[in-house]
Amino acid sequence: MKRLAIVLAAGQGKRMKSKLYKVLHPVCGKPMVGHVTDIVKEAACERTVVIVGHGAEAVQAYLGDGAEYVLQAQQLGTGHAVRQAEQLLGQEEGTTIVVCGDTPLVTAETIEAMLELHASSGAAATVLTASFDNPTGYGRVIRGADGAVQRIVEQKDCSPEEAAVKEINTGTYCFDNQKLFAALAQVTSNNAQGEFYLTDVVGIFREAGEVVQGYCTSDLAEAIGVNDRVALAEAERLMRERLNRHHLLGGVTIIDPASTYIEAGVEIGSDTVLYPGTILRAGTKIGEDCVIGPQADIAGSSIGNGVTVKYSTVADSVIGDESAVGPYANLRPGSKLGRGCKIGDFVELKNATLDDGSKVSHLSYIGDAEVGKEVNIGCGAITVNYDGYNKFKTVVGDHAFVGSNVNLIAPITVGEGAYIVAGSTVTHDVPAGDLSIARERQVNKPGYAEKIRNRAKAKKENSRKE
């Protein structure tokens, strides 16, 4: 049986009170609609149609070519939204999964189980349901004496008895494709919200003598529909727990899962230890046997094996095996460390490559630089890469030694094995193997300290008399 999918993503999400369209709000670093389309992909649907409206361009730009799109120019309800897909899917025969773009925690396994019940029972529709102690805000699932689903009633249309029902509609369904579009043609907007409800097709099917099943998930997280920021925070927490659990089971030690934030899609090797306050953002890959944190914020970066990163931020960078970063380092985009490098406290790197075994241990800024192997950059040494208009490059050869408080005025090349003495402001290239000194020669004036103190004292007394 052909599988098709429709993702509803046209709503504005007024209750979010946001400039960002609802389905683009991230949950653990990934927009909600991205979670949903990824799940649908896992369910191996041959075609996925996303209904877009508010923020259509932004949603399309984010999802890209992975789906087909239909514009729902006016948001007249979920039934109206699904109907927009008729021009694309109306001729298809098969099973159509419908998922809302604001239910990021639904899983592919549950959709699979729902599809199984759907197929085995010959139902026209199967609804994914859950049982909530507090069902407020959700559509209620009304079952008949035989246990089959009779109707779904929206909160605003509920009688007191219906409102007391705890089983809710999660907003995920599967349908016989042909029957779905036939029933949608009969849906009216005669209800409390004046909308065309997708949920009304259930009643329409029942009247036509069709079977409607309800598949009840025991994982309540799957049922969360994010309509406001309270639910967004709840979804974030539940997704975080789920992701942490995935990494724990994969062999990662997380000292305190409650204070460790791992976004969707992050990969971590086994026997890596994460200390509290660690934030691993989207696009990050971490190897085995690393020690990350406390307080490490790593985004879009690739980290090798046996690496230590503590009290530091790392963005769009690469760190080679056995390197150590921090405490208090800032690796800005384009930093690349080889094997066994050391970046110490209050060091900032930007667009800088360090080859194997190089060290920048304290209080440095290295930007737009290419540093060779086994180079030592002393405390407080910096690259002077910017004249207010242009950026210039610094090249430091293998085994060079850059003394403390050296200014490397770029563009500049320091040759292999060169040695720059502390406090130098170097404006010209240093050939390989040379010693470079660029500072005033020291002068000591014997006993002069006393003289200078007396002069200062006299000056102070004079100014008091005046």
Footprint on this chain of Ca ion (rule: CB under 5 A): 102, 225, 227
The nearest distance, CB 89 to Ca ion, in angstroms, is: 22
Cβ neighbours around 318 below 10 Å, total: 18
Instruction: Collect all residues with Cβ–Cβ distance below 8 Å to 249 and sequence separation of at least 6.
Output: none
DSSP lists the bridge partners of residue 399 as: none
Q: Tokens 């019940």 sit at which residue? A: 117
Q: Report the Cα 161 to chain-centroid distance in Å.
A: 42
Instruction: Transcribe 194-228 into DSSP letters.
Output: ----TTHHHHHHHHTT--EEEEE-S-GGGG----S
> Which lies closer to ligand UD1 via its Cβ, residue 130 or residue 292?
130
| CB of 16 vs Ca ion, minimal distance in Å | 11
β-sheet bridge partners, residue 9:
52
Catalytic, out of 118, 362, 399, 428: 362
Q: 362 an active-site residue?
A: yes
If binding is defined by CB under 6 A, does position 323 make contact with ligand UD1? no
Q: How many CB atoms lie within 10 A of CB 146?
A: 7
> Which of Ca ion, ligand UD1, none does residue 197 bind to, with CB < 5 to 8 Å depending on kind?
ligand UD1
Tokens of 332: 């800005």
The least distance separating ligand UD1 from the CB of residue 315, rounded to whole angstroms, comes to 31
- For the chain, what is the radius of gyration of the CA atoms? 32
Q: Does 95 bind ligand UD1 (CB under 6 A)?
A: no
Contact partner at residue 222 from Ca ion, ligand UD1, none, CB < 5 to 8 Å by partner kind: none
Provide DSSP, 293-317: -SSEEEES-EE-SS-EE-SEEEES-
Closest separation between CB of residue 163 and ligand UD1, Å? 13
Specify the pairing of strand 407-409 against strand 3-9: unpaired
- Listed residue (49, 53, 64) closest to 14, CA to CA: 53
How many helices, marked H, and strands, marked E, lie in the chain?
Answer: 10, 39
**Percent of the chain that is helix, strand, coil (3-state, to 5):** 25, 30, 45
138 alpha-carbon distance from chain centroid: 28
Residues 12-31 binding ligand UD1 (CB under 6 A) are 23
Q: Minimal distance in Å, beta carbon 102 to Ca ion?
A: 5
Q: Residue 169 binds which entry of ligand UD1, Ca ion, none, with Cβ cut-offs from 5 to 8 Å by kind?
A: ligand UD1
Q: Which amino acid is at 311?
A: Y
Nearer to ligand UD1, 214 or 326 (CB): 214
Q: Judged by CB, which is closer to ligand UD1: 132, or 261? A: 132
Please tell me the distance from the alpha carbon of residue 402 to that of residue 376, in angstroms, as a whole number.
6
Q: Is 102 in the site for ligand UD1 (CB under 6 A)?
A: yes
Residues 23-82 touching ligand UD1, rule: CB under 6 A, are 23, 51, 53, 72, 75-78, 80-81
In the complex with ligand UD1, the residue whose CB is nearer, 155 or 404, is 155
Nearer of residues 80 and 310 to ligand UD1, judged by Cβ: 80
Between strands 359-362 and 382-384, the pairing is unpaired
Q: How many residues of this chain bind ligand UD1 (CB under 6 A)? A: 31
198 near ligand UD1 (CB under 6 A): yes
132-191 residues in contact with ligand UD1 (CB under 6 A) are 138-139, 152, 154, 168-171
Find the shortest distance in angstroms from Cβ 39 to ligand UD1: 14
Q: What residues are annotated to the active site?
A: 362
Which residues form the interface with ligand UD1 (CB under 6 A)? Answer: 8-11, 23, 51, 53, 72, 75-78, 80-81, 100-103, 138-139, 152, 154, 168-171, 197-199, 225, 227
